[in-house]
Amino acid sequence: MATSFVNSSASEPEPMVSQDYQDFKSLDEADEGGKPLGRAPHSAWQRICPTNRLLLLLMGLCIVLSILVLTLGIKGAQLGTDQQQTWESLRSFNKTISVGLTSVRRKRNSTGSKLATLEQTLSRESNETERVKIRLESLLQILEQDSNTLRCQVVEVKSNGSKSGCCPKGWVVNQKSCYWMSHSQRSWPEAKRDCEGKDSHLVIINSPDERQFVNERRRSAFMWIGLTDSSGSWKWVDGTGYTVQAEDWGEGQPDHWYGHGLGGGEDCVHTFPDGLWNDNHCSRSFAWMCEQELRV
């Protein structure tokens, strides 16, 4: 039993040694056949594109990229040159525009200054012309009054003092009329009768010049004038119609006020202190002015 066990164990390693030899021999034969040891079979990519061909392809791509870079560089340089020229042109144009605008502003300021000077000159001339006009009108009025006075004196001389061609004593002449101002106060109807008794009538105002004359000669702030609407429409005492004009009247007048408690409305006209008119009850007492046409 012991001998049999020993023989059995000694006979087992022989196949392993034989196998190792066979493997080594196989490797040695592979080396002798010209094939590289331990190299894996070629892949599909290596069969399609060998190493040399890949290198040539990469070199071609590098050349193409180099050409593209060079071309883009040249184009970029040309573009930069064109852009620089464009900027130069724009700067030159802006400079030209700036110079033109400066010139226009300078001319405009010069023209504005000349216009301002001309306006001042025209204004001074206009004011001077207006003063001369007023002065001439005043001189003409004085000349006309002096002429009327002279005519009156001629009439008196020719009649040996029996006939007066001027205004009655105490009356003031203006243009073609004589005016008399009362010293007392009466109602409008009484003032009307007093003027008629003097061969005249309550003053009739026909122009701005006459209004100014009346306002300068009146002695009282409130003074009856010869305007009434007792007949239903505004008329002067000589029967001439009158159309209401706002510039003749005080604010809010005429108003035909009935709140005075005197009965009826307001049908007779008198002056305010500022010379404008107001309608009032005819029974109130104010001063009055008579007017008489100049007899030459």
Q: How many residues does the chain have?
A: 296
Q: Given this model, what pLDDT does residue 248 score?
A: 94
Q: pTM to 2 decimals?
A: 0.49
Q: Given this model, what pLDDT does residue 296 score?
A: 57
**Digits of tens for pLDDT over the chain (296 positions)?**
433 433 444 444 444 445 544 554 554 454 444 444 444 455 555 555 567 777 777 888 888 888 887 887 777 777 777 777 788 888 888 788 888 888 888 888 888 888 888 888 888 888 888 888 888 888 887 787 677 677 777 766 776 665 556 788 788 888 889 999 999 999 999 999 999 999 999 999 999 999 999 999 888 889 999 999 998 999 999 999 999 999 999 999 999 888 888 888 899 999 999 999 999 999 999 999 999 987 65
Q: Given this model, what pLDDT does residue 8 score?
A: 42
Residue with tokens 């008119």: 277
Q: Given this model, what pLDDT does residue 37 score?
A: 45
| pLDDT single digits (tens) 10-22 | 444 444 445 544 5
3-state secondary structure the chain: CHHHHHHHHHCCCHHHHHHHHHHHHHHHHHHHCCCCCCCCCCCHHHHHCCHHHHHHHHHHHHHHHHHHHHHHHHHHHHHHHHHHHHHHHHHHHHHHHHHHHHHHHHHHHHHHHHHHHHHHHHHHHHHHHHHHHHHHHHHHHHHHHHHHHHHHHHHHHHCCCCCCCCCCCCCEEECCEEEEECCCCECHHHHHHHHHHCCCEECCCCCHHHHHHHHHHCCCCCEEEEEECCCCCCEECCCCECCCCHHHECCCCCCCCCCCCCCCCCCEEEECCCCCEEEECCCCCEEEEEEEECCC
